[in-house]
Structure formats: structure tokens, C-alpha cells
Structure 1
């Protein structure tokens, strides 16, 4: 699986590629700060190095004495590894950050996190902090992406109802050319789909339309967006907006729309696992991410999305009433209930049968 990485600047950044697909291993590793100081902060996260790297460069520049090892993981594997270390007493990271926020709530609920409180964490909205052990640090929409060169202006869906209308005719031009996440492979994809099932009256109809028109479930964000840009797919549903907008900056074939019936909003969750040996450095990172400088760095990396700031590409702004933040709360544990998950995945497989 190809990845994009930032090159080093000022000798501070070294990127090391690891074996992608090796069971139980991280996908990639990078380092920030001055290694000779020797105080290493281990961060495990699902965020691509190419996106989160500049944020960590800024943190290291403002935090003398901290050397950061950043490991990029898939959400499901990161959850399994962190839970195993918690239960069996294995080596833990100093910081875990994941887009699979339902999995993060499970880790906190299982007493795998340390508590921390400050004026900045207390200033977070209630749905972006839980038990002083889990904090939402980003703000990213789930969007529809489309190929600007291949999708006519009148066909750009502004709502899920518009998308249903596009897929309704038999043998329409979108047959086999609409994609979304494989929710069995992607913790984020599962989270978005489950949130849709609770939120949208259109969920059942969308599943039927995806099944009837041969929609594709696949992984992962960058791969889906690239395939839309290259015309393999005309459109993709529920794609993470930060990745889509980042890709769009270098490829103007990508168009983005925020569904106006409602748009899911993800806030990546950060926790400090029990057993960390660098609690002070971990809280320093949290404080930085919640500070004005940290917010600016996150905005530059599109992890706090500017798509909420003004009009989107369909010419309309997204009102706050259409924004559905996925809150950090025990309510997310329902999605991980064994019977609930089994039934949900069975329904998913009927929509996207294995090849």
C-alpha cells in the first residue's frame, strides 16, 4: 500500500518505512526532535504520517528536550494491540490517538487510560472529553467525494436523497463506480456506517441501492480518493474530509461536498495509556494540541477542517444544525457489543458480498 511522507527538515525528521501488512506491526514510523537528548515519547496513531507529521514537527520545535517516535497503525490493529498490552501488562505507548473513537471509548471503559485535567481539557465541549481520560483533538467531516471531470454539476449530490436518486435508475452510469469503506477492515468505516444507521432514515435505502448497483467497499481513505481522481470510481461516500481536502490540494480533479441533510463530524480521540513512562511528555503533547498554536497546526494539516468555515463546492454553507458530532461517550460501546456487531456485519455482507 503506497504512502506519502514528508521529507526531513533541519535534520529533525527521519522517516523509516516498515513492512506494511506484517501482522501485529505498525505500518510506518517517523521521528521528530533531537535524538541525542534521549527522552523518547512513543505515539501510536491511525493518522497518516504525511498529515500529522507537520503537527509533530511544530510540537517538537516548541518543546525542547522531547524526542518523538511516531508509529502509524491501522485502527483495528492499534485497538487490539493497546487492549492486549492493557490486559496482559505488556509494553504500552505513551500516547494513543485513533479515528476509531468507539474503540477508544472501550479502552477507557476497560480502565486502560490515565486521568489528566487542566484548564484546557476542561474547556473542551462535553462531547469531546470523557472521564478526564479521553479527549477529542480534531474536527473532520465525513464527506462525499466525486470526480469533477466525470460527474456533471447537476449530478453532484447535496444530500443522501440526491445520492439515492442518482442510483435509482437501473444500469445507470454510476453502477459499479461508487465506493465506500470496507467496514470490516476499517474501524473508522465501521464507526461511520454504524452512526449512519442510527442517524439516517435513508440508511436502509442506501444499502439497498449500493447492493443493487454494485457499489465497492474497499480500504483506505487515500486509496479511495486516488481511485476517484483517476476515474476508477466516479464518487465515494463517507470519506474522511481531511484526507479528501489534502488530496484535493494537489489534484483538482477531486470535488468535495458535505451532505446538507446531515454531516457526521469526527474528532480523533487521544488517551494516555496506563503504564506510560513519559506521562509528563504525553500531557505536554495534549496541552500543545489544545493550545492556540496547536489548533493552528492542526488547521494547517486540515485536521480541524476549514470546510466548516464557509461555503462548500456546491455553493452552500453547512449550518450547525446539519453537523452531527460523534461524541465521546459510553453510547459508542453499543457499536462494539458482540451481538450488535455480528448482526450489523451480516447485514453489511449482504450489501457488499465477498468477491
Structure 2
């Protein structure tokens, strides 16, 4: 199994770019069409896009939902080949977005809304963070009591050591070969956590499952196939609205992601993409994003998460190290030696 996983991972690293989106939707009926490619699920983003086209009846938004790696491959090829790109890109795999900016694939834009963002959520006036999303531990409320739920990584390690039979095949997280977001979280953990190596050992001991997608992982927790999901985006847990799925913000540290927006160089409707960006940063749009879980306030009284435990993933050249080929292959190798791949139902 481990040899097969390593071979598959290396094949994924060198595979040809993916070209097909996962799903599409059209918003509005205006005659001017804007193409937005995004990793955000259509059902989650719908309220804010609906509001934008309501305010701009001359526009229609063609929305394409992509996997993060496929979206990066397509955007990179458009940039390299000079083919017409999307008008805007919105991705959770922010290290890929920073790479595109660094490769001169983005168009600059500056406004009062963008300059009001903190430095960690904007870089070179070419990429901007429009959401606030924590990486959380999700768990099944019916199958784990409050006392059994690990509230930090040290407690999770203890649980895996003390009760391996309970957790065997019932811990899930992202497959980093398929998910650019999953890779980013794993890479960030490797820098931040003194527990990282021990966690990999613990996950291997209980045959933890690595799978592709937030929705699939959260559904597995809701159905009881998994007891715990590690490092999943809290926004998708909120959006799923599953009463049997609880959320823990790890007390040792919680990674915070801001989904990145970019206007590709040469975008046919770049000015309208900039208008969309400004709208996403308004109080009205942020409130809509909050309702869908894409913006989390992280009030310590509600989440139990101290300000000192927040670890923001910055939109900056610092995360370009995550794109280093040697580092990638090393992390892929460790990961593939740890996880089995989930079998699709």
C-alpha cells in the first residue's frame, strides 16, 4: 500500500494539468458576462454572488467550481501561453495564488477597501484575502462525549495512544496530493507543531484516512464513518449545518486561512472583477459571508480560542516555500507513508 501511494503521489506531481471544472452555475441575466473560477462550493458562495448581480443588473456571472490543484494548473497555463484567462480567481490554496502573483500572472488593483485590509491579507496590490476561515477539529457529537473530544493536538495524541481500537479507520483529513488546501495545512503544521511527527505516527497507528474534499469528510463525520476530522475548514462544517457534527478550535493553535482573490493579467473584464472584489470587502458582503461560515469572528467567549493561539496563514512570499519541489516531495512521502486512501462508496 505504501509503495503504491508513493508511486501515485509522484505521478500526481508530474501529471499533465487538469482542465475540467467540477460544476458550473450562472448568476444574473445581464448582457456583460464575467467568468469567475473558484474552489468555493457553489452552494456556499451563492448568497453573496446573488447579491452582487442584484446590485449590478447589467452583469451576469459565469461561476466555475474547480479543485484547487486543477484551478492552479489551468491558471498557470493561461498565464504561460497567453490564452484568455478567467476574469477573477478565488482559491483556498493561497500558496498557489501567491505563486501566480510572483510569476507575474496577476493584474494590480488598489482601492480604499483593499488598502484597509491588514498586511497579512494583501500582497503587492495583486492578491487579497476576502474570508476568515479556521482549520478545526470536527467530531461526531453522538459517538464522542464532551469529555472524550480532544481540544488540542496533545490531547488528540493521547486519545490515539490510549484507545487505538476506537479510532481505527475513523480519523479523516485532506489528501494532500489531491487538495492544495490540505497540502497548505499540512505544511503549516510541519512548521508550527512540535507534535507534527508524533501526529503522523499516531495517524499511521490507527490507519487514518486521507480523502479529497471538505464535503465528503464532513458527511463522513455526520454519518458516523469517522469520529474525528482533523484540520478541516470550519466554514464547510458551518455550511453543512449537521446537528451531529461539533467543532473544536484547537487550543494549542488554530490555523486561519483567508481565501485569496486575484485578477489575472489580461482578464477581459478586469474592471468588473475589481468591482466584485470591492463588493466582497464591504460590510454587507462580509455579513453574507459570515452567514455562510466563510467569515468567522472567533470571539474567545464563544470559541474558547485565545487570541495568542491564532496562526494566520499570510498572503506573502513566505508561503512560497511550500511550493519548493524538494519540500513538497518530502512531505508527500511522509504523508503517503502515513495514510491510506479512503475508498469511495
Aligned residues: 326
Write the deviation string for residues 324-345 of structure 1: whole angstroms up to 9, x where unpaired. 1100001111111111111111
How far apart, CA to CA, are the structure 1 residues paired with 2:178 and 2:184? 11
1:163 shift after superposition? 0.4
Aligned residue in 2 for 1:347 = 334
SS of the equivalent of 1:168 reads helix
How far apart, CA to CA, are the structure 2 residues paired with 1:198 and 1:173? 29
Structure 2's unaligned 5+ residue stretches are 1-16
Aligned residue in 1 for 2:108 = 115
Is 1:178–1:237's contact at 8 Å kept on the other side of the alignment?
Answer: yes
SS of the equivalent of 2:139 reads strand
Is 2:90–2:259's contact at 8 Å kept on the other side of the alignment?
Answer: yes
Alignment of 1:294 with 2:285, yes or no, is: yes
Is 1:26–1:73's contact at 8 Å kept on the other side of the alignment?
Answer: yes
Alignment of 1:261 with 2:252, yes or no, is: yes
More helix by share: 2
**Aligned with residue 28 of structure 1, among 23, 26, 47:** 23
Structure 2 CA distance for partners of 1:111 and 1:23, relative to 1, 3 Å: closer
Give the TM-score of the pair, scaled to structure 2: 0.92
**Aligned with residue 309 of structure 1, among 291, 299, 318:** 299
Aligned residue in 1 for 2:14 = none
How far apart, CA to CA, are the structure 2 residues paired with 1:354 and 1:291? 41
Aligned residue in 2 for 1:246 = 239
Aligned residue in 2 for 1:282 = 273
Write the deviation string for residues 67-113 of structure 1: whole angstroms up to 9, x where unpaired. 11110000000000000000001120000000000000000000000
Alignment of 1:96 with 2:96, yes or no, is: no
How far apart, CA to CA, are the structure 1 residues paired with 2:282 and 2:341? 46
Aligned residue in 2 for 1:13 = none
1:64 shift after superposition? 2.8
Is 1:55–1:301's contact at 8 Å kept on the other side of the alignment?
Answer: no
Matches within 5 A, 1:1-355: 23-34=18-29, 37-169=30-162, 171-247=164-240, 249=241, 251-306=242-297, 308-312=298-302, 317-353=304-340
SS of the equivalent of 1:176 reads coil
SS of the equivalent of 1:222 reads helix
1:171 shift after superposition? 3.6
SS of the equivalent of 2:64 reads strand
Aligned residue in 1 for 2:6 = none
